[in-house]
Chain A
Amino acid sequence: MPRTGPRWLIFAAVAALPALVILVPLGSFLAMSLAHAEKHQIIYDWTLRNYASFLGNWTYLSTFLGTLWLCLEVVLLSLIVGYPIAWYIWRQKSWKRYALLQIAALPLFMSYIVKLYTLRSMLGLNGLVNQALVSLGILEQPSQVFLYNQRAVLITMTVIYLPYVVLPIFLSLERIPRSLLHASTDLGAGGWDTFRRVVLPLSVPGTIAGALFAFVLALGDFITPQMVGGTTGFTIGRVIFSQFGLAFDWPFGAAMAAILLLVALLLIVTAGYAASRRRV
């Protein structure tokens, strides 16, 4: 092994580019959150006033809390829908299982904007959802409740981020040794008992990972709320994005994004810890 000198040189050579394109931007954005904007000039005066004005302004704070709540709803809804799907795929045999898995994973690679566009037209006044409900007699006439509100954001985000939830759950189900299931059946457990006492606890790590993916992705999304949320579907992502456009208050936007970053990091660390504790 080379002496310490060359080892540092090699490290510097390898790490220089990643540091330049990842670490430096993150650092400069955090520094920006401590500056303030004055007449289109950014003045670095290392102040916490952006954070203070965020926490002291109920409009911003309630939007932030509302976004966290929305993300939680997205997570819950996608677990309720995604878990049975992952379980169903896992119950299939050999080729059918992998074919279904691929079919469920492929939408991950389909255009995000096109998904938004399609969902928006499906939820609209003349959309598929309304037509189906009217022809089934559930609604008397097409309703506008499915689009341009918080509910529309919830439905759309759930559909878009669902594959991110299904995949990790499936992967953790797949890791359960068949012998455990046989043992459980041999010991007299019925299907439900085996599921509740063996399958469900062992799939917790994947479920946490899926929930985390959905939460973090929904947290930073600003295009979905803008496209289907209308005026009531405001999220913190939209507020941040607007600071870099019309509002032109970069330091304030950076401070709000830093809070978002903090929440995301806390969640990633907590979820990582929880998942590692559950590993058998």
Chain B
Amino acid sequence: MLRTRGDRIAEYAAGGLTALVLLVLYAPILVSAVFSVVEIRRGEILWETFTFRHYVTLWSNASVTDALVNTAIVATCSAGIAVALAVLLALYTEWPGAIARTALTLLIYLPFLLPPIVTGLALLVASANAGLDRGLFTIVIGHTIFVLAVAYRLVLTRLQALPPTLIEASFDLGASRWQTLRYVLLPHLASSILTGALLALTLSFDETLISSFVAGNEMTLPLRLWAMMRVGFTPEINALVTLVLLVSIALALAAASLLRPKGEPEED
């Protein structure tokens, strides 16, 4: 691409803006990491207070560890259910005999497109109508329908990239429907299933708005942090937040590396 002087000035300006905004976007992890190891008073870092002990003591704070366990349970269950459901729905909507394909697809995407307040409220009303107690079960349902769209989209894209001849070949070689699914389709979908599960885990880990409606007396980590925000974070909470952010980033990076296209991008 030919770069004129004007282009270069625009690029410097946009680059400066990008750097500034990225600094703001990454401030949460920087701030919590710093506050987890040192004390800061009146804008000055007190280096003599430097310690890693908050990373140890945080595990004795039961209200936090309970919330963390709840979050882990919810994330694992909803990611697992969402991915299994996504595979089933993707296989169905790609099947030539499918009925009401558009309506079904719309249903899958709806909870992801709608404001979370609507999804949360709808689940709250439905579980009250059904006489269901609010708790981990209702949170799992909420997270499952929220992350389903992402998992479905990933699996569907991969499924559509599969050459139909592969399935025909499998049938020609005498494989049953089940064997074709087990030995041809599922191995082909494996990477998209894994990516979907990772993204679902990360999204569920952080979901707050739907949870706040359906949690009842249970606490997930974001809800616990929300409650703690009113009084301010202690160094222990900052240590925990640092760990949580690092885990989320690691999960997201793992998903991204699986998603990256294998070929070289177009160059000039």
Which A residues have a C-beta under 8 Å from some C-beta of B? 1-2, 7-8, 10-11, 14-15, 17-19, 21-26, 28-29, 32, 81, 84-85, 87-89, 91, 93-94, 97-98, 100, 102-122, 126, 128, 131, 159, 162-163, 178, 181-182, 185, 190-192, 216-217, 219-223, 227, 237, 240-241, 244, 250, 253-254, 257, 260-261, 264-265, 268
Contacts and interface: CB of A to CB of B under 8 A. Distances in A.
A82 B247 CA distance: 26
**A100, A107, A178: residue with the most chain B Cβ atoms closer than 10 Å:** A107
B126 A110 contact: no
Interface residues of B, number: 84
Which applies to chain B's interface (DSSP): helix, strand, loop or mixed?
helix
Given A85-B21, A223-B226, A191 B3 contact: yes
Interface string B1-44: 11110110011011101100110111111011000000000110
Interface of B: 1-4, 6-7, 10-11, 13-15, 17-18, 21-22, 24-29, 31-32, 42-43, 85, 88-89, 92, 96-100, 104, 107-108, 110-111, 113-119, 121-126, 129, 141, 144-145, 148, 202-203, 206, 208-209, 212-213, 222, 225-226, 229, 233, 241, 244-245, 248-249, 251-253, 256, 260, 264-268
Contacts of B24: 159
A113 B244 CA distance: 12
B104 A18 contact: yes
Contacts of A223: 208-209, 212, 226
Given A25-B125, A112-B208, A88 B11 contact: yes
Which applies to chain A's interface (DSSP): helix, strand, loop or mixed?
helix
Nearest to B266: A178
A244 B97 contact: no
A178 B206 contact: no
B117 A240 contact: yes
Closest 7 CB pairs of A and B: A220-B115, A88-B14, A25-B126, A25-B122, A29-B122, A220-B117, A191-B7
A261 B110 CA distance: 11
Given A104-B22, A118-B27, A241-B117, A111 B125 contact: no
